Amino acid sequence: MFLFDIIQRTYTAIFPPTASKNDDAIRIGLLGASKIAPVVVVNPAKSHPDVIVAAVAARDSERAKQYAKTHGIPIVHSSYQALVNDPSIDAIYVALPNGLHYEWALRSIRAGKHVLIEKPSCSNAIEARKLFNHPLVTAQNAPVLLEAFHYQFHPAWQTFLSEVRRFPGAIKDVYAGFFLPAGIVGVDDIRFQYSLAGGCMMDVGTYPLSCVRQIIGREAILEPIDVKYRGIAHGSDGKSESLQIDEAIEAKYRTADSINVHISGDEMTKGGRPSFLPASWTRNMPSLRWPKSSVTFEPVLVDTLVRENKSPLQHFVQRTVTLWNPIIPTFYHRIDICDQHTLRQENDIAKTWSETNYKTAYNWPEGDKRASIYQDWWTTYRCQLEEFVNRVKGREGSGVWVDGAESIAQMEAIDRTYKKAGLKLRPTSTFEL
């Protein structure tokens, strides 16, 4: 049954049912013929009655035409601006290189379009503050602007957060990591171009940073205390600025209330798998590692056992909550709730034992009205699209959202991490509006 459920969810997520479109469906245009757009928008839109992917524009017009044919997109524009100016388009998905996010998000908003912008929202915090605080964005009845941190919209992540928040102990340690096997990203990929705001911290590394910030509370300031990165010897842009590109990054932070925070990200993960082979054999082999987020709490005194003619026994519990696979939880995920029990007699340990419970959350809890809307095969991107449409339509929605203040704080944390690593901040756009 377990395997059947995985196969059924996976198949339906990849080949979703096609919904009949409503007359007032939101018509979305794609800026860029990107590899990610079919996953983020095109496929999720098939099952949404209020979304039509109506147009695409790319620098290469022939590529745009072929892309449109492949994905059933009726309109191909000759330029980004032509798409933005199209009066039949209601919303824009910006999946251009990071260095172009600020400019084209702002151009789209000026044209009155709602905007779903790929993460990271901008090249640096300067751009983020300018974008999300721009009068066109903050005006009453301004178009919707959302940074696409899709994982936050899935019930698995929200259930994980609820488990973290319900435990009474203080958070001690937080970890999050996300890894891509070597070979997924080519050495000539735009993600390794400094001029386009590339780097691991601007791609897979932004996920674990966002995760730990969600866990500790977005108001908390992460101060980096140790940042290590693996650079690339020769970048795809062939310039010395390529030496500013991180291929992998590992960072440790501390908060004002002494929480230890650790993140890791790698665009080219190698070695260690399969574990039964000698390390010398697997050193340069692509490695698959599960993304995860975990929280460990300080021990909490839950009971005191008073004993006649003996010192009392104090019962402490230290909890660790781990979410395996927060990025693509639809196919498989698991929430581990591990309690380490300790009985203490004065300064001595009398007994220890552990208990672990496991949970999944492919949908909202039974009885929650959101559970009747969401489906267990919905990907994080389908959940995100649902809430984007709800916000555009003025509907109540699930209550999950990534607002401008959160996007700004995320970019500020990225900038602090790069500074601590001794790397330059990604370049600021010269575009002004």
Catalytic residues: 119
**Strands in 133-259 per DSSP E:** 145-147, 171-181, 223-231, 246-254
Helices marked H in 188-301: 206-216, 279-282
The CA distance from 109 to 164, in Å, is: 37
Distance CA 228, CA 369 (A): 45
What CA–CA distance (Å, rounded) separates 161 from 335? 10
Question: Helix 404-421 to helix 125-132 angle, to the nearest 10 degrees?
Answer: 170
* Sheet order of strands, 26-31 included: 75-77, 51-57, 26-31, 91-94, 114-117, 145-147
- Count of beta carbons in the 10 Å neighbourhood of residue 360: 15
**Rounded-to-integer distance, Cα 252 and Cα 235, Å:** 26
Which strand (E) or helix (H) includes residue 3? Answer: helix 2-14
CA distances from 200 to 244, 266, 411 (A): 11, 7, 14
Say if residues 67 and 58 touch (Cβ distance below 8 Å). yes
Distance (Å) of CA 84 to CA 29, 112, 134, 250, 432: 8, 9, 18, 38, 17
**Phi, psi for 85 (deg, rounded to 5):** -80, -10
Using the 8-state DSSP alphabet, how is residue 21 labeled?
P
Contacts of 400 (CB under 8 A, 6+ apart): 152, 153, 158, 387
Query: Is 354 in contact with 341 (CB distance < 8 Å)?
Result: yes
What's the 3-state SS for 94-109?
Answer: ECCCHHHHHHHHHHHH
Could you tell me how far CA 417 lies from the centroid of its own chain?
Answer: 17
As a whole number of angstroms, the distance between CA 218 and CA 261 comes to 13
For residues 221 and 218, give the distance between their C-alpha atoms in angstroms, rounded to a whole number: 8
* Sequence letter at residue 13: A
User: What is residue 349's three-state secondary structure?
Assistant: strand
Token reading at 2: 């377990």
